[in-house]
Amino acid sequence: MNTSTSQALFEKAQQYIPGGVNSPVRAFRAVGGTPIFIKSAKGPYVYDEDGNEYIELINSWGPMILGHAHELIQKAVSDAIQHSFSFGAPTRREVEVAELIVEMVPSIEKVRMVNSGTEATMSAIRVARGFTGRDKIIKFEGCYHGHGDSFLIAAGSGAATFGTPDSPGVTKGVANDTLTAPFNDLEAVRQLIDSNKNKVAALILEPVVGNMGCVLPAEGFLEGLRKICNEEGIVLILDEVMTGFRLAKGGAQERFGIKPDLTTLGKIIGGGMPVGAYGGRADIMNWVSPAGPVYQAGTLSGNPIATAAGLTMLNYLNDHPGVYTQLEESGKKLADGFRASLQKLSLNYTLNQIGSMYTLFFTNQQVTDFPSAKSSDLVLFGKYFHAMLNKGIYLGPSQFESMFLSTALTDKHLDMVIQANEESLKEVLNLH
C-alpha cells in the first residue's frame, strides 16, 4: 500500500504543529508508523491522500452514526451556509435542538449548547460545584472527559496511550480536588466519600467507557452510584459524549435505566460538526448564567451550521427507531464473527461489545477497569492495527479506544471486517 503522500504531509506537519497532529492519538505513536492523512469520506469508507480506500470503524470517534456525508445532513449544512456562518446571537434552531434533546433524553429538563465535549464536561463540573457549594469531584481511572485540568488525573484515551495520565500544567490544587476511583468499584467510591464527607460536589463517569477501550458497567454499578449520590447530596453526571444517542435514543441512561442529575453530550448532536452540550435538572441548570450566578459563555455556542447538522441528525434518529435495531444487529454480527475466529484460532483475547461499540483487547483477562485494560499486549495490538490497515480496515490507532459502527455498514462490509480480523490475527501471530 502506497502512503507516500501521507508520509510527506506528516513530515511537513511536524515543522508547524506540535507532534504533527492536532490531537495526540492521531500521531500513531501507540501503534508505530506514519499517520494516514484523510482526504474524503462517504458512507462506510474513508479515502486517504494517496487514494487508498478503507472501511471505516472510527466514524470520527462516534458522531457519524449514519455513515459519512449523509445526504440529509449535507443538504442541511449546505442550506444553512447560505445564511452566513455565525451570528453570535440567538437563532431558531438553538431552541429546536434544545427542545428535541429534552424530548429524547428524559433526565434533561434544560440544556446549554457549547462547542465541544470538553467544554460540556468542564461546564457541568462548574455548575455542580456552584449548586452544591462543594469543591471536590470524583472521577474514575481510565475515564476521559476531555482535556480540562480537573480531568487529566488518571485519564484514559490519549493520556493512557502515552502513559502520562497526569499532565504537566495541571496544578496541585486542581489535582487535590479530583478524587479517583477504580471503575466498577462501588466500595472504593464509598471510602472516598466517607473520607471527604460533605466535600464532594459531583461524581462524573462514562456509563459505558469508550476511552480505555469499550468497558461496560458491572451489574448494579450504575444503580449503586445513583443511590450513593442521592444519599450524599452529590450531583451525578453521566458523560454521554460518546454514548448519547448511540446506544439508544435516550443514550446509555435509557439503556441502563439510570437517571443522572446532569448529562454531557457531543459528537452526534452536531452530526459531525464541532459541538457539545450539557443539561439536566432544571433546578441545577438554573444556576447557569444569565439565569443564575455560575458563569459560562461562548461566542460560537449554538453555531447555526452545527445546529443545522445536529437538528437533522436528531430528527432522523427520533423518527427512525430502526437505526438502533440495525446497529444492534450489526454489533452482534461483528461480535459473533470475532468470537468465532478467536475460538477457531484457540485465542483467549477479550472482546467487549455493546450495541455499535466494541474493542478487541489483546489480553486473556476480563476487561472491567483500567488495570485490566492495561494488561493488554500493546505491541501486538500495533501489529494487528497495521495488518488490518493493510487489508483496508481503518481502526482507531490505540488499544485504549472503542470502535464505532454506523448504519452505512452492510452485511457485506461486516463480513469483510470479520475476515480481515481473522487473517490479521493469523498474520501477526504466525498461525497457519
For residue 301, what pLDDT is reported? 93
Give the mean pLDDT of 41-70.
96
User: Which tops the pLDDT comparison, 174 or 305?
Assistant: 305
| Residue 107's CATH number | 3.40.640.10
Same domain, 123 and 235: yes
- From the list 110, 136, 139, 267, the catalytic residue is 267
The set of long-range contacts for 382-390, using a CB threshold of 8 Å and a minimum separation of 24, is 382/30, 382/31, 382/32, 383/428, 384/360, 384/424, 384/425, 384/428, 385/31, 386/31, 386/32, 386/33, 387/423, 387/424, 387/427, 387/428, 388/420, 388/421, 388/424, 389/1, 389/36, 389/54, 390/1
Query: What value does the mean pLDDT of the chain take?
Result: 94
Of the candidates 267, 301, 319, which is a domain's last residue? 319
Same domain, 294 and 261: yes
- From the list 239, 374, 383, 384, the catalytic residue is 239
Same domain, 147 and 59: no
Give the mean pLDDT of 410-417.
98
Residue 160 predicted with pLDDT over 80: no
Same domain, 86 and 143: yes
For residue 267, what pLDDT is reported? 86
Residue 165 predicted with pLDDT over 50: no
For residue 154, what pLDDT is reported? 58
pLDDT in tens, 112-128: 999 999 999 999 999 99
Give the mean pLDDT of 208-217.
96
Same domain, 135 and 280: yes
Give the mean pLDDT of 24-43.
94
pLDDT over 70 for what percent of the chain? 97
- From the list 54, 144, 278, 394, the catalytic residue is 144
Domain limits for position 265: 71-319
Residue 161 predicted with pLDDT over 50: no
For residue 330, what pLDDT is reported? 98
For residue 151, what pLDDT is reported? 79
pLDDT in tens, 341-385: 999 999 999 999 999 999 999 999 999 999 999 999 999 999 999
Same domain, 21 and 140: no
For residue 279, what pLDDT is reported? 98
Of the candidates 319, 342, 366, which is a domain's last residue? 319
The values of phi and psi at residue 187, to 5°, are -65, -40
Same domain, 118 and 150: yes
Same domain, 205 and 314: yes
For residue 109, what pLDDT is reported? 98
Residue 171 predicted with pLDDT over 80: no
Same domain, 210 and 107: yes
Domain count, the chain: 2
Residue 145 predicted with pLDDT over 70: yes
Same domain, 229 and 89: yes
The set of long-range contacts for 362-368, using a CB threshold of 8 Å and a minimum separation of 24, is 362/399, 367/213, 367/215, 368/183, 368/184, 368/215, 368/216, 368/218
Q: Mark whether 239 is an active-site residue.
A: yes
Of the candidates 293, 319, 345, which is a domain's last residue? 319
Strand 276-280 relative to strand 262-266, pairing: antiparallel
Q: What are the grid coordinates assigned to 343, written together?
A: 475460538
Measured CA to CA, the distance from residue 152 to residue 125 in angstroms comes to: 14
For residue 432, what pLDDT is reported? 64
Radius of gyration of the chain, Cα coordinates, nearest whole angstrom: 21
Q: Mark whether 16 is an active-site residue.
A: no
| Residue 341's CATH number | 3.90.1150.10
Give the mean pLDDT of 215-228.
98
User: Which tops the pLDDT comparison, 417 or 165?
Assistant: 417
Residue 200 predicted with pLDDT over 90: yes
Residue in this structure with the C-alpha cell 477497569, named with its chain if needed: 369
Q: Mark whether 45 is an active-site residue.
A: no
What one-character DSSP code corresponds to residue 18? G
Band of residue 420 on the pLDDT scale cut at 50, 70, 90: very high
Same domain, 369 and 243: no
For residue 166, what pLDDT is reported? 57
pLDDT in tens, 266-304: 989 988 899 999 999 999 999 999 999 999 999 999 999
Same domain, 213 and 345: no
